[in-house]
Amino acid sequence: MIDFGILGVVEGPWRKSWTSDDALRYAVGVGASELPFTTENSSGVTQQALPTMALALTHFTEPAQVFGDIDNTRVLHAEQSLALHRPFPVAGSIEVRRQVTDIFDKGSGALIVSRVDAVDDTGPLFSAVSSAFLLGEGGFGGPRGASSRAAVPSHTPDRRLEFATAPNQALIYRLSGDRNPLHSDPVFAARGGLMRPILHGLCTYGITCRLLIGAFADGDAHRVTAITGRFTAPVVPGDVLLVDAWLDGDGIAFRTSTSAGLVVIDGGRLTLTR
């Protein structure tokens, strides 16, 4: 049962710190082989942190977010956005606050929207908004909320990017902090009706962002100012991912699918500085 007393309550602040090694570990977790993301001592190469590492630090890590007396096998990551106020550094320390901003009744489940804000010693660094869908927790008579579905362009993509996830992709990614057994324990995954553990949604999100940075920002992660997308289906480690991308005004519209045609991130958008 949902604890509706969490609505509007600001949690924190708490402190999160990371090192250059953590940035390297995260990059490998999202399949990177580019030297700026995976090495700190290559000649003529300056290390960069992937911007989506901000989410690995503040989502699905301690302190855990508690929605009430909920079966965690029936909680799905529905949507995610990230806004960067300046480039994400390879090492640092932040003060984090989190707040549930909305609880929507979607009938078959409840949608809980949370916002995270992070500041460091020089000011705001990033903000993130995530939505969690709680299966079977709807029907409580609350507001339904507006539909947030954003359509990608209907014409042929400007680029199609491809990445084959590794069979142990989730096991590598979990070293960045998300130890949810849904992504590693077959018994726990089976409780949620899954044939096997699935890949973290934020791992697929990070892989997608990395591929787009390579294709549209010349590998410069510092140009990313925002990314958003809606999770529509799980990825199984070993799946091949295809990212269709369209140049769209000041950003890139994207949709990520498996090679079998299953859409896993829809209505995506990446915003870059010029």
**240-248/251-258 β-pairing:** antiparallel
What's the rounded Cα separation, in Å, for the pair 32 and 100? Answer: 33
Which residues of the chain, if any, have pLDDT below 70?
Answer: 148-149
Please give the positions annotated as active site. Answer: 178, 183
Q: Which residues pair with 226 in a beta bridge?
A: 83, 271
Task: Tell me the whole-structure pTM to 2 decimals.
Answer: 0.95
- CA of 173: how far to CAs of 22, 44, 127, 178, 200, in Å? 11, 28, 22, 8, 8
What's the rounded Cα separation, in Å, for the pair 131 and 78? Answer: 5
Q: Decide: 81 and 141 in contact? Cβ < 8 Å.
A: no
- Residue 118 is predicted with a pLDDT of 98
pLDDT tens-place string over residues 183-241: 999 999 999 899 999 999 999 999 999 999 999 999 999 999 999 999 999 999 999 99
- Residue 147 is predicted with a pLDDT of 73
- Residue 175 is predicted with a pLDDT of 97
Nearest one of 219, 244, 239 to 229, comparing CA atoms: 244
Phi, psi (rounded to 5 degrees) for 222: -65, -15
> Nearest 5 degrees, angle CA 12-CA 80-CA 207?
115
What's the rounded Cα separation, in Å, for the pair 33 and 27? Answer: 8
Q: What is the 3-state secondary structure (H, E, C) of 51-90?
A: CCHHHHHHCCCCCCCCCECCCHHHEEEEEEEEEECCCCCC
Q: What is the gyration radius of the CA atoms in the chain, in angstroms?
A: 18
What's the rounded Cα separation, in Å, for the pair 269 and 85? Answer: 17
